[in-house]
Amino acid sequence: MSNPAAAEVRVPTRTRPHPRIRIAHLGLGAFHRAHQAWYTELVQRAEPGDWGIEAFTGRSPAQAETLAAQDGVYTLVVRAAEGDTFERIESIAAARDGNDTERWRARLADPDTAILSLTITEAGYRRGADGELNLADADVAADLQRLRAGTGEGCVSAPGRIVDGLRARRTAGSGPLAVLSCDNLADNGAVTRAVVGALAARVDPELAAWIEANVSFVSSMVDRITPATTDADRDEAATETGVRDAAVIVTEPFTEWIIAGEFPAGRPSWEHAGARIVDEIEPHERRKLWLLNAGHSLLAYAGLARGHETVDAAFADPVLAERLETLWSEAAAVLPQDAEEIEAARAALRERFANPRIRHHLAQIALGGAHKLPPRIFDVVRARLAAGLDVGTTAGPVVEDWIAYLQRPDTPAAEWAPLGGGVNPDDLTVDALLAILAPDLRSAL
Ligand SMILES: NC(=O)c1ccc[n+]([C@@H]2O[C@H](COP(=O)([O-])OP(=O)(O)OC[C@H]3O[C@@H](n4cnc5c(N)ncnc54)[C@H](O)[C@@H]3O)[C@@H](O)[C@H]2O)c1
Ligand SMILES: O=P(O)(O)OC[C@@H](O)[C@@H](O)[C@H](O)[C@H](O)CO
């Protein structure tokens, strides 16, 4: 209901008592609040009292400060092509600055804590081109020194913070827990295990052995398109709900969560909210990464080059829509699902990408290409070659478009960092790029 006058005075407030905190989350961004916190909210509405989340920011404290000022409560705007619906989300019991080491350790050391979930971006796992923990990363190297010195105070990388927190849990004798990755990476649980294990082994082999014996690393496929919130989104929500909410999140109606792994200290009944618990994650991850995310990356780089700003605008461009369909067909040839299931996923994506009311900026999707292209584009090429197929016609042009994006004057300098210092921006070639990120594909693409 529209109520602009009240919008200036009311803020979101809690309608249920604070739940007992059982989940620690690292990466308090938009996606966590549209996805895992929403599933957990549905569980809490049915069974109040348990499974509260204490969420920590990954880098800047800003999101924690905004949310903490509202006692963790915020409005989720579910934006369909036809209109918006508004949901109050109360599952986050506490929002914290990730730099608050004392609070972080206390949360991980608390025997109530059963799960540490993550949305730290692909880059946050600090892997090098070989897929292993990048020990040459300056933050990782500094965190290793801090952890070896015994304090761990001031760790900045996600692997550093996780090792520090798990050490606190071991010292407290608080028993096993699950680490649950919710980032767009293939086999994200195994990736998390590898980077955490590699760092822990260099800090203290006994800690690494404890982690191996007590911590399960759960994989999940996550899907819900959630763009960065704008001032216009906040103003519209205030007008419609009568609540002035600085922490509004806008998301699409579609949502999917598929989870595989053990939760040794328990978990919420997320399946009652629509999540699926499976034995094998890989087919689901591939479908999502190779259709949705690969499609997003194609539209981002080619769309920016053709003057588009958002996904729906790029998708409405017939040239790009045709390239996208070809990319999907090339991926479909090496996906394990049957033709009917793949066509259903493609049909849903056509509708989702065309939603004109989700203003998903290509510039946001374009960020982090060095970490996004390997699972989204290169792995498809590898699968095609392994199946005796050709490389297809779409991967090479995506890499060329990415190079053009890297060379744009408005591209953040940080986008070059994963390529190392040895590349000349003016004459970066597909071959030079593959030599760094995917040497096995040099002669193929
Ligand atoms: N937004 C989506 O549509 C969507 C959908 C599926 C999955 N995801 C996953 O969630 C991630 C976050 O997306 P978002 O929309 O919340 O982005 P966001 O920009 O709103 O938030 C990013 C979060 O990650 C943290 N972070 C960023 N870099 C980090 C680093 N190097 N180390 C540790 N933490 C870091 C930030 O502090 C912040 O909490 C994505 O990268 C992706 O892996 C997002
Ligand atoms: O969130 P990122 O940065 O990994 O990638 C941008 C988008 O491709 C991605 O967020 C999708 O919107 C999402 O994966 C949909 O579920």
Asked if residue 369 lies in contact with residue 297, where contact means CB atoms within 8 angstroms, the answer is yes
Residue 92 to residues 39, 220, 224, 302: CA-CA distances in angstroms? 11, 20, 19, 38
Cα 184 to averaged position of ligand 1 atoms, centre (Å): 9
Asked if residue 270 lies in contact with residue 259, where contact means CB atoms within 8 angstroms, the answer is yes
Longest dimension (CA), the chain: 65
Ligand nearest to the CA of 125: 1
| pLDDT at site 364 | 97
Verify that 239 and 318 share a domain, yes or no: no
| pLDDT at site 129 | 86
Q: How many domains does the chain have?
A: 2
Cα 27 to averaged position of ligand 1 atoms, centre (Å): 6
Q: Which contacts of 324-328 are long-range, i.e. CB under 8 A and separated by 24 or more positions?
A: 324/295, 324/298, 324/299, 326/392, 326/393, 326/394, 327/294, 327/295, 327/298, 327/392, 327/394, 327/398, 328/291, 328/295
Residue nearest to atom 19 of ligand 1 (CA): 29
Atom number in ligand 2 closest to CA 256: 16
Verify that 60 and 135 share a domain, yes or no: yes
| pLDDT at site 9 | 53
Cα 432 to averaged position of ligand 1 atoms, centre (Å): 28
Residue 276 to residues 4, 173, 233, 339: CA-CA distances in angstroms? 40, 32, 31, 21
Verify that 36 and 104 share a domain, yes or no: yes
Last residue of a domain, one of 245, 279, 313: 279
| pLDDT at site 148 | 95
| pLDDT at site 5 | 47
Lookup result for tokens 């506490």:
94
| pLDDT at site 150 | 81
Residue 418 to residues 123, 379, 391: CA-CA distances in angstroms? 9, 18, 25
Verify that 297 and 186 share a domain, yes or no: no
Q: What is the pTM of this model?
A: 0.96
Range of the domain at 10: 4-279
Asked if residue 275 lies in contact with residue 224, where contact means CB atoms within 8 angstroms, the answer is no
296 Cβ inside 6 Å of ligand 2: yes
371 Cβ inside 6 Å of ligand 2: no
Q: What is the ipTM of this complex?
A: 0.97
Verify that 275 and 361 share a domain, yes or no: no
Ligand nearest to the CA of 298: 2
| pLDDT at site 425 | 81
Ligand nearest to the CA of 224: 2
| pLDDT at site 6 | 47
Verify that 122 and 99 share a domain, yes or no: yes
Ligand nearest to the CA of 121: 1
293 Cβ inside 6 Å of ligand 2: yes
Residue nearest to atom 11 of ligand 2 (CA): 225
Atom number in ligand 1 closest to CA 224: 5
Atom number in ligand 2 closest to CA 300: 8
- In the chain the first and final C-alpha atoms are separated, in Å, by 54
Verify that 211 and 88 share a domain, yes or no: yes
Verify that 188 and 120 share a domain, yes or no: yes
Ligand 1 pocket: which of 25, 26, 31 to mutate (most atoms within 8 A of CB):
31
Residue nearest to atom 5 of ligand 2 (CA): 365
Ligand nearest to the CA of 289: 2
Report the distance separating Cα 12 and Cα 319, nearest Å: 44
250 Cβ inside 6 Å of ligand 2: no
Walking along the chain (445 residues) 10 residues at a time, the average pLDDT comes out as 51 94 98 98 97 95 96 97 96 97 97 98 94 96 94 88 98 98 97 98 98 98 97 96 96 98 98 98 97 98 98 98 98 97 98 96 97 97 98 97 96 92 84 93 93
Report the distance separating Cα 224 and Cα 155, nearest Å: 30
Ligand 2 pocket: which of 181, 185, 257, 296 to mutate (most atoms within 8 A of CB):
296
Atom number in ligand 1 closest to CA 98: 37
Report the distance separating Cα 361 and Cα 230, nearest Å: 11
| pLDDT at site 8 | 52
Verify that 423 and 320 share a domain, yes or no: yes
CATH number for 234 = 3.40.50.720
Verify that 238 and 322 share a domain, yes or no: no
Verify that 233 and 377 share a domain, yes or no: no
Q: How far is CA 108 from the centre of its chain?
A: 21
Pocket of ligand 1 (CB under 6 A): 27-32, 57-59, 119-124, 158, 183-184, 222, 224-226
| pLDDT at site 423 | 82
CATH number for 371 = 1.10.1040.10
Last residue of a domain, one of 241, 261, 279: 279
Last residue of a domain, one of 279, 313, 342: 279
Verify that 82 and 218 share a domain, yes or no: yes
